[in-house]
């Protein structure tokens, strides 16, 4: 890896500091009525964290807005439902080191940070016991070196783009030096809220990596996207890095034929391939988002009849202990 870190810009860090973290402040900004405020969860266990850019896209005084539902805590999160648990995909069962998960053959997942640009209310890892006491990945890198059957490292979290470029450079450089690792995959939602994170310094970091990089974003609704975001992502794609999107099927957000079609079309028009449409991981507090698999099949059938094959995501669910995500339309 050849990369000389320049003095990083702090613009995206300053923007991140403007995130809404207090429910009352956001309610005021969204001009919620007293009736709608009564639906809010004012002291959620999983705290509010919402970039101003996304908040500005939410319709005023509308708690059914698809962006509102994704990011604003509601009292519905307090409802208990059988099967909805704190660790729905059993991450802790596959934790080989404090910041490394190894579930599937040929690939392992690094969790270098617990931080995110935003907090999605359906996040399956909101209860994960992250190691936050140190930034050291010595044991995790040793694991990657030892397991020569590994071909891919997935940088997740949290969100890997929450790290500054100096930290990312260290990790990418270390992975670059492991000969049997061929691919590095980023999983990130950061550009959806703070596209300024994809600055020249970050792009230079990516271009200096010797491994094949894949860049997977997480977007559930076309209104999350704007030209600033798409422009930033195009710069990643211009480096020869494939761009993909992974969505979650969410009630009241994208469980509508035209909504899902618009999302897929917006993505492929920008050179981003729809990758997965994930069924909800049943994390405690998210039951109000649940959509049956049968409905997911109907939605993708509608999209498939209207788009080329590369524009149709795979409907998947994660089943703890399976050799991969279940990826077909006949669960």
CATH code (residue 106): 3.20.20.70
Q: The pTM is what?
A: 0.95
CB contact at 8 A, 158 and 124:
no
30, 72: one domain: yes
Same domain for 299 and 162?
yes
Whether 52 and 191 share a structural domain: no
Residues 25 and 156 in one domain: no
Are 94 and 104 in contact by the 8 Å Cβ rule? The answer is: no
pLDDT (tens digit per residue) in 61-106: 999 999 999 999 999 999 999 999 999 999 999 999 999 999 999 9
Is 1 part of any domain? no
Within a domain: residue 310?
A: yes
- ∠ CA 54-58-62, nearest 5°, is 150
User: Please, are residues 84 and 285 in contact by the beta-carbon 8 Å criterion?
Assistant: yes
> Does residue 120 sit in the same domain as residue 246?
yes
Write out pLDDT tens, residues 159-194: 999 999 999 999 999 999 999 999 999 999 999 999
Q: What is the mean pLDDT of the chain?
A: 95
Q: Are residues 170 and 190 in the same domain?
A: yes
The CA distance from 251 to 143, in Å, is 39
276, β-bridge pairs: 246, 314
- In a domain, residue 5? The reply is no
In this structure, are 39 and 104 located in the same domain?
no
Let me know if residue 261 belongs to a domain: yes
Query: Are the CB atoms for 124 and 283 separated by under 8 Å?
Result: yes
pLDDT digits (tens, 9 = 90+) for 43-58: 999 999 999 999 999 9
For residues 151-161, average pLDDT = 97
Which domain covers residue 65, as residue numbers?
15-78
Identify whether 257 is part of a domain.
yes
Q: Is there a single domain that holds both residue 217 and residue 279?
A: yes
| CA 18/CA 36 separation, integer angstroms | 24
- How does residue 331 score in pLDDT terms, banded at 50, 70 and 90? very low
């Amino acid at each position: 890896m050849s990369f000389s870190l320049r003095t990083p810009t702090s613009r995206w860090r300053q923007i991140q500091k403007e995130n809404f973290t207090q429910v009352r402040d956001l309610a005021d900004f969204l001009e919620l009525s007293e009736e709608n405020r009564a639906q809010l969860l004012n002291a959620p266990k999983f705290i509010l964290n919402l970039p101003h850019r996304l908040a500005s896209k939410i319709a005023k005084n509308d708690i059914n807005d698809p962006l509102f539902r994704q990011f604003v805590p509601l009292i519905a999160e307090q409802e208990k439902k059988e099967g909805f648990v704190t660790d729905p995909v059993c991450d802790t069962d596959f934790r080989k080191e404090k910041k490394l998960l190894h579930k599937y053959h040929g690939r392992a997942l690094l969790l270098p940070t617990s931080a995110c640009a935003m907090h999605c209310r359906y996040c399956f890892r909101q209860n994960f016991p992250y190691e936050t006491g140190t930034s050291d990945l010595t044991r995790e890198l040793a694991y990657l070196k030892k397991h020569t059957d590994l071909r891919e490292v997935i940088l997740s979290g949290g969100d890997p783009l929450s790290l500054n470029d100096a930290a990312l450079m260290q990790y990418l450089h270390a992975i670059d030096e492991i000969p049997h690792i061929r691919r590095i995959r980023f999983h990130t939602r950061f550009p959806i809220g703070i596209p300024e994170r994809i600055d020249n310094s970050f792009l230079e970091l990516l271009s200096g990596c010797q491994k094949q990089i894949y860049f997977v974003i997480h977007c559930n609704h076309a209104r999350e996207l704007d030209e600033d975001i798409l422009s930033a992502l195009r710069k990643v794609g211009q480096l020869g890095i494939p761009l993909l999107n992974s969505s979650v099927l969410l009630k009241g957000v994208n469980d509508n034929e035209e909504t899902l079609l618009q999302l897929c079309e917006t993505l492929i028009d920008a050179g981003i391939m729809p990758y997965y449409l994930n069924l909800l991981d049943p994390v405690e507090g998210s039951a109000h988002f649940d959509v049956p698999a049968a409905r997911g099949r109907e939605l993708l059938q509608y999209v498939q009849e209207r788009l080329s094959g590369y524009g149709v995501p795979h409907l998947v669910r994660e089943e703890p202990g399976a050799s991969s995500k279940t990826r077909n339309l006949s669960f």
